[in-house]
Chains A and B, each alone.
Chain A
Amino acid sequence: MSLLEVDDLRTEFRRADGTRMTVVDGVSFAVEPGRALAIVGESGSGKSVTVRTLLGLLPKTARVAGGSATFQGKDLLALKQRELRRIRGRDIGMVFQNAMEAMNPTLTVERQLTEHLLWHGICGKAEARERAIEALAGVGIPEPERRIRMYPFQMSGGMRQRAMIAMAMVTKPALLIADEPTTAVDVTIQRQLLDLLAGLKEQGTGIIMITHDLGVARYFCEDVMVMYAGRVMERASTHALLDAPRHPYSVGLLGSSIEVGGRDRPLIPIPGSPPDLARRPDGCPFHPRCAQAELPRCAEPQELLTIEGSPAAAGDAIEAGRVHGAACWKAASLV
């Protein structure tokens, strides 16, 4: 059974003028223990909102409009805030993009590494401290006994980012959500961070990594899900998707991104810009920008199809990332 199964998730935002805007629209995926799923897409594609919906961290103007998210037998979306709070930080950890910003400047590292152990009643103060030191050592911070007494601003950026991972790891969560953990750090630290996360993965932690760095996805994640305008465009194992993308949007995304050591080729930008989510195009949201678009077929609702062209009967398999699925009726005939 999957660690987390998200089915047909929908999240709406209420705008100032009272209209509703669907930011996450029918997203389904699954995360397996010991595997990492990359969620990639442009800014505003709904990646972050998707994971924040799961954790109940949405702003007040947002609400869950439908779907389910089964984690360890419980539907996260049906839980009360209080019950969800007990899962957050204990069973599901989260690593943020900007360690500079994601640690409280007025608390010592020790406090920030141990507080959630105490909130969740996992252990007492003395053991929490030991665990925190162990976690800091585990992320390769030298002299953890001394550094644990530091304030975040006394640490370097890379050290802080690792301390943040230690913060999420200290409770040994079953699922770790990493929201662009490598975006704000330089490449040498990027590699170290990914290696750390890989260690967690080996111990059986399931990981969701939000990123727009396809290189990171290729290096670290077994499965990839491409999102656009709040919908899943394509979902497959990493090498299948990155080596042979099926959806025209994925093709465009790959064509417009740089990969170090990649073949010498011109970058091809995707023309146009992502749609206003309040006026999402009918059918495939990408079709107004798509060179392959054929109306009226593309303006009709698109299902996630396997590359053989059969409808998502193999839904579960697609969700687990084992079968290549693309939300484009032409996907089978492209490439």
Chain B
Amino acid sequence: MAATQSSADVGVTAAPVSGTPAAEIKTKGPGRHAWDRFARNKLALGSLVFCVLLVLVALLAPVIAPFHYAETDFANKLVGPGVEGHLLGTDTLGRDNFSRMLFGLRTALTVAFGAEVTALLLALIIGLLAGYVGGRLESALMAGTDVMYAFPSYLFAVILVTVMGRSIFALILAIGVASWVTQARLVRAQVLSIKEREYVEAARSMGAPGVTIAVRYILPNAIGPILVTTSFGIPAAIGAEAGLALLGLGVDPSIPSWGTMISEGTRYLLSAPHMLLFPATMFALTLLAFTWVGDGLRDAFDASGDLR
């Protein structure tokens, strides 16, 4: 049996191992892989195109809209589609339905994205602090989160809008603050599981500062499920905005909102069905498209079924 070899016998040279030929090496990051998986899902891709169109239309609403959303045409009240340039008809005050829907989309998307960004930021800060720092801070933060969780989110939104007034900003805050709780819990759970991974310990063993570990090692690896939840939060926030509008707690009635249009449309269902039909259809399609994008994202970030 061989005795202990001295290091001199062992030598330094390691035979180079033939690997992938240079030409085949491509640098595709994890983000690129997720995109490839997303793009393979045609329904999600189509929905994404639709959503991007919606965003563009909302941005360009003042350019596209044939009328100002508040412009009244008393000669043509409650007329059907196509009358006198009113593409989708008019409402009880003779305001152009099409133009109002464009601006309603603007309201919906502003509130939804604003609310989700607010929720995401709150969730990231609180979840990261709780999960990464731990100890008493974690107990305090999670106790606060539990209190928020126990509080009905709609009631919270109603209270906030009542107190702050019916501005878009108030709605963003109301919906955002009401929906960060589940996300904060998710962030914390993700952080807790990733904190124990060997690469985090490896980073610590190399002398990484705490903030670097949290931001560069934990967050990017935790972000997938968090983004998925956020993407599902967008249709939920659009729904919440419309719901609050139905309750009469939406944005100021002078600003067009799909929720207000739908609730008004229900009153003229028999005499002027176009007033309900068009906003309701667009509302449904928009929610569906954002949900399908979320579905696609969920599959894209779940690499388990993927050969790497």
Q: If A86-B207, A89-B207 touch, does A96 touch B201 (CB 8 Å cutoff)?
A: yes
- In the complex, whether B163 has a CB less than 8 A from a CB of chain A is no
A127-157 residues with Cβ-Cβ distance < 8 A to B are 139-143, 146-147, 149-151, 153-154, 156
CB-defined A-B contacts under 8 Å, sample of 19: A34-B7, A88-B206, A93-B206, A96-B198, A102-B198, A102-B201, A116-B206, A140-B15, A151-B29, A153-B30, A164-B202, A192-B15, A198-B11, A198-B12, A199-B12, A202-B7, A218-B2, A220-B5, A242-B4
- In the complex, whether B22 has a CB less than 8 A from a CB of chain A is yes
User: Which of A94, A105, A162, A218 is the most central at the interface, judged by chain B CB atoms within 10 Å of its CB?
Assistant: A105
Q: Mark A167-193, 1 if CB is under 8 A from B, else 0.
A: 110000000000000000000000010
Shortest beta-carbon distance from B192 to chain A in Å: 13
- In the complex, whether A294 has a CB less than 8 A from a CB of chain B is no
A99-114 residues with Cβ-Cβ distance < 8 A to B are 101-108
- In the complex, whether B3 has a CB less than 8 A from a CB of chain A is yes
Q: Mark A241-265, 1 if CB is under 8 A from B, else 0.
A: 0110000000000000001011100
A-B contact count (CB 8 A): 155
- In the complex, whether A325 has a CB less than 8 A from a CB of chain B is no
Q: Mark A204-244, 1 if CB is under 8 A from B, else 0.
A: 00000000000000111110000000000000011100110
Stretch at the interface among B71-79, B150-158, B209-217: B209-217
Q: Give the contacting residue for A101; candidates B15, B198, B206, B216; CB below 8 A.
A: B198
A115-B216, A140-B13 given; name 6 further pairs at CB < 8 Å: A85-B207, A119-B209, A141-B16, A151-B27, A196-B12, A218-B2
Quick check: B220 and A106 within 8 Å, CB to CB? yes
Chain B contributes a number of interface residues (CB within 8 A of A) equal to 43
- In the complex, whether A195 has a CB less than 8 A from a CB of chain B is yes
Which of chain B's residues has its CB closest to A155's CB?
Answer: B19
- In the complex, whether A277 has a CB less than 8 A from a CB of chain B is no
Q: CA–CA, A237 to B6, complex, Å?
A: 12
- In the complex, whether B254 has a CB less than 8 A from a CB of chain A is no
Q: CA–CA, A194 to B4, complex, Å?
A: 13
Q: CA–CA, A159 to B2, complex, Å?
A: 28
User: Which of A115, A220, A222, A237 is the most central at the interface, judged by chain B CB atoms within 10 Å of its CB?
Assistant: A115
Which of chain A's residues has its CB closest to B209's CB?
Answer: A119
- In the complex, whether B221 has a CB less than 8 A from a CB of chain A is yes
Quick check: B14 and A219 within 8 Å, CB to CB? no
Residues of chain B with a CB closer than 8 A to A34's CB: 7
Quick check: B17 and A101 within 8 Å, CB to CB? no
Q: Give the contacting residue for A153; candidates B7, B205, B308; CB below 8 A.
A: B308
Give 9 nearest A-B pairs by CB, closest first: A89-B206, A199-B12, A140-B14, A89-B207, A198-B10, A106-B220, A101-B198, A94-B205, A116-B206
Shortest beta-carbon distance from A79 to chain B in Å: 12
- In the complex, whether A55 has a CB less than 8 A from a CB of chain B is yes
Quick check: B16 and A259 within 8 Å, CB to CB? no
- In the complex, whether A47 has a CB less than 8 A from a CB of chain B is no
Interface residues of B (CB under 8 A from A): 1-5, 7-8, 10-19, 22, 25, 27-30, 134-135, 197-199, 201-209, 212, 216-217, 220-221, 308
Q: If A89-B206, A115-B208, A201-B7 touch, does A103 touch B13 (CB 8 Å cutoff)?
A: no
- In the complex, whether A332 has a CB less than 8 A from a CB of chain B is no
Residues of chain B with a CB closer than 8 A to A302's CB: none
Q: CA–CA, A119 to B204, complex, Å?
A: 11
Residues of chain A with a CB closer than 8 A to B206's CB: 88-89, 93-94, 115-116, 119, 167-168
Quick check: A87 and B207 within 8 Å, CB to CB? yes
Quick check: B11 and A116 within 8 Å, CB to CB? no
Quick check: B11 and A140 within 8 Å, CB to CB? no
Which of chain B's residues has its CB closest to A51's CB?
Answer: B205
Residues of chain B with a CB closer than 8 A to A196's CB: 12, 14
Q: Give the contacting residue for B4; candidates A192, A239, A259; CB below 8 A.
A: A239
Q: Give the contacting residue for B10; candidates A102, A142, A153, A194; CB below 8 A.
A: A194
Quick check: A57 and B201 within 8 Å, CB to CB? yes
Residues of chain A with a CB closer than 8 A to B8's CB: 202
Q: CA–CA, A97 to B28, complex, Å?
A: 26
Quick check: B201 and A221 within 8 Å, CB to CB? no
Quick check: B19 and A142 within 8 Å, CB to CB? yes
Q: If A88-B204, A106-B220, A140-B15 touch, does A147 touch B25 (CB 8 Å cutoff)?
A: yes
